[in-house]
């Protein structure tokens, strides 16, 4: 009698979070008399993954579901606030996948990342890479938006509300019924991977478009190049071109050298927010920020590691000329349009003890800010119980808003105990002290479960 062995494997990951904290209410409150709204949340994450469902074939599925309830926010109050839910569920991702012979495919809700953006969509993605190192990728589906089925607004284009259903029911003038409309999107890439001695080289040209009720909501073209073969010189560059505004939206170029005890990198960036075409922010402010960074990491023999970084930024002030902020930004005697600063830090690890200190300072456009962050942790006994702490200090002086100036102090303690190889419980206590929320306390309880079948 013969039997067929199955190589299928399944993985279950679960996390339960109990969150107790408060957020500041900005309506009917003042800087001297802040009003804090309680949040009492239970959040459950559940992930189920399957691998090699067909023997000898790379066929599987991955999924992650988040269910939450806020006992500090009744349904009636949540219904009066845009984008707030007292209880709901979010399907973060759930897709089946296949891979083999240079072909890779995914079908379902998935997260997609490239040089231009991070997005989530319900649909199909197919990628093929030939033995010659030339390939292509196509994808399409419905953009995941806050008003959709089991959906979160985390990855939808910014600058618009999740829904105007409340305003539509109340007959508010200007309410937009298209905010919850389906948003089809599609895109593709041409791919190149260098052969032989150029095996560390890869490049891609991409295009993406999204539509709402037949009108273009977002249209971008991208280009990416990467090179790296382990230690030594590596480089990457990418651009994201906005075809609606016909201008450069995002860009990044980095060159890095990694040695045995030293690493040096230089980076140039252009950063712009990714707005929906219907966003009112296109009327207020859409100017990019250009930034340059130089960093040196030093890791000698022993328990210490060091780094130092210099940063310079240029804030373009193509603001709406009718706004007060634009007048202040363009005032010859106003704040400069650039910032300069840097950061430095050190990390220590010896045995079960670990610690790190980071300090940063920037000054220029928007005022000045100083940050210091100290962390430390220790594993007790056989390492099943760990204790971590964090102390943060910030001094901020906003050049445009005099209310955003002062000193901020935060402290956090994280205790974690491994019950079994698959289960862990953690307790997090956090306390923040500042002039706006006065005493801001937070408590988080976590239970993590991870099992392979």
Of 152-166, 208-222, 341-355, 435-449, the range with the lowest mean pLDDT is 152-166
CA–CA gap between residue 130 and residue 327 (Å, rounded):
56
Mean pLDDT of the chain: 85
pLDDT score for 78 = 67
User: To which H or E segment does residue 283 belong?
Assistant: helix 281-284
What token pair was written down for 89? 């569920």
pLDDT: which is higher, 257 or 422: 257
Q: What is the pLDDT of residues 364-422, one digit of tens each?
A: 887 889 999 999 999 998 888 999 999 999 998 887 777 677 888 999 999 999 998 88
| Measured distance between the N- and C-terminal CA atoms of the chain, rounded to whole angstroms | 26
Q: What is the pLDDT of residues 15-62, one digit of tens each?
A: 998 988 777 665 555 656 666 677 788 899 999 999 888 887 889 999
Residues 98, 96: Cα–Cα separation, whole Å: 7
How far, in Å, are 257, 299, 372, 373, 375 from residue 345 at the CA level?
19, 12, 10, 9, 11
Interatomic CA distance for residues 337 and 317, integer angstroms? 7
Task: Let me know the angle formed at the C-alpha of 306 by 305 and 311, rounded to the nearest 5 degrees.
Answer: 145
Q: What angle do CA 312, 222, 270 make, to 5 degrees?
A: 10
Q: What is the structure's pLDDT at 127?
A: 95
- What pLDDT is recorded for position 62? 93
Beta carbons of 88 and 78 less than 8 angstroms apart: no
Q: What is the pLDDT of residue 27?
A: 59
Estimate to the nearest angstrom the gap between the alpha carbon of 252 and the chain centroid: 17
* Locus of tokens 């009718």: 322
Q: Does position 170 have pLDDT exceeding 90, yes or no?
A: no
437, two tokens: 């929320």
CA nearest to 395, candidates 372, 428, 413, 377: 372
pLDDT at position 158:
74
Joined tokens for residue 78? 């949540």
pLDDT of residue 210: 92
pLDDT attached to residue 1: 45
Q: Are 93 and 62 in contact (CB under 8 A)?
A: yes
Half-sphere exposure of residue 331: CA atoms within 13 angstroms, side-chain side = 13
CA distances from 119 to 93, 112, 143, 158 (A): 11, 5, 8, 11
Query: Around Cβ 72, how many Cβ atoms within 10 Å?
Result: 16
The bridge status of strand 118-129 relative to strand 232-242 is unpaired
Phi/psi of residue 218, nearest 5 degrees: -155, 135
pTM: 0.81
Token couple for 282:
């296109």
Residues 6+ positions from 128 with CB-CB distance below 8 Å: 102, 103, 104, 135, 136, 137
């Amino acid at each position: 009698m013969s039997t067929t062995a199955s190589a299928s494997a399944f993985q279950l990951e679960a996390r339960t979070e109990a969150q107790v904290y408060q957020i500041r209410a900005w309506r009917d409150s003042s800087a001297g008399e802040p009003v804090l709204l309680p949040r009492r949340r239970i959040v459950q994450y559940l992930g189920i993954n399957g691998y090699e469902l067909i023997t000898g074939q790379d066929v599987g599925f991955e999924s992650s579901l988040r269910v939450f309830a806020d006992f500090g926010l009744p349904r009636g109050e949540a219904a009066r606030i845009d984008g707030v839910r007292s209880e709901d569920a979010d399907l973060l991702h759930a897709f089946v996948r296949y891979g083999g012979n240079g072909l890779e495919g995914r079908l379902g809700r998935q997260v997609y990342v490239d040089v231009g953006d991070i997005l989530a969509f319900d649909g199909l993605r197919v990628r093929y890479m030939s033995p010659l190192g030339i390939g292509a990728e196509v994808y399409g589906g419905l953009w995941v938006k806050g008003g959709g089925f089991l959906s979160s607004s985390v990855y939808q284009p910014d600058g618009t509300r999740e829904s105007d259903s409340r305003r539509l029911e109340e007959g508010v003038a200007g309410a937009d019924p298209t905010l919850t409309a389906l948003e089809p999107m599609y895109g593709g890439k041409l791919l190149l991977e260098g052969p032989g001695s150029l095996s560390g080289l890869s490049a891609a040209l991409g295009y993406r478009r999204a539509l709402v009720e037949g009108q273009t909501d977002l249209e971008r073209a991208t280009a990416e190049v990467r090179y790296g073969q382990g230690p030594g010189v590596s480089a990457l560059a990418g651009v994201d071109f906005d075809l609606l505004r016909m201008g450069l939206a995002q860009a990044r170029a980095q060159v890095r050298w990694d040695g045995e005890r030293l690493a040096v990198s230089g980076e140039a960036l252009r950063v712009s927010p990714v707005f929906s075409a219907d966003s009112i922010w296109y009327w207020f402010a859409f100017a990019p920020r250009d930034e340059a960074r130089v960093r040196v990491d030093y890791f000698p023999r022993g328990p210490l590691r060091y780094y130092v970084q210099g940063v310079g930024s240029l804030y373009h002030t193509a603001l709406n000329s009718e706004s007060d902020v634009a007048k202040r930004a363009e005032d010859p005697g106003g704040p400069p349009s650039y910032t300069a600063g840097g950061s430095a830090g050190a990390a220590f690890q010896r045995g079960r003890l670990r610690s790190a200190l980071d300090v940063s300072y920037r000054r220029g456009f928007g005022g000045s800010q100083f940050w210091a962050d100290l962390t430390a942790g220790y594993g007790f006994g056989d390492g099943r119980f760990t204790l971590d702490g964090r102390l943060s200090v910030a001094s901020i002086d906003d050049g445009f808003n005099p209310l955003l100036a002062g000193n901020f102090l935060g402290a956090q303690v994280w205790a974690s105990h491994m019950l079994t190889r698959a289960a862990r419980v953690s307790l997090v206590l956090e306390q923040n002290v500042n002039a706006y929320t006065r005493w801001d306390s937070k408590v988080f309880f976590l239970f993590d479960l991870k099992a392979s079948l």
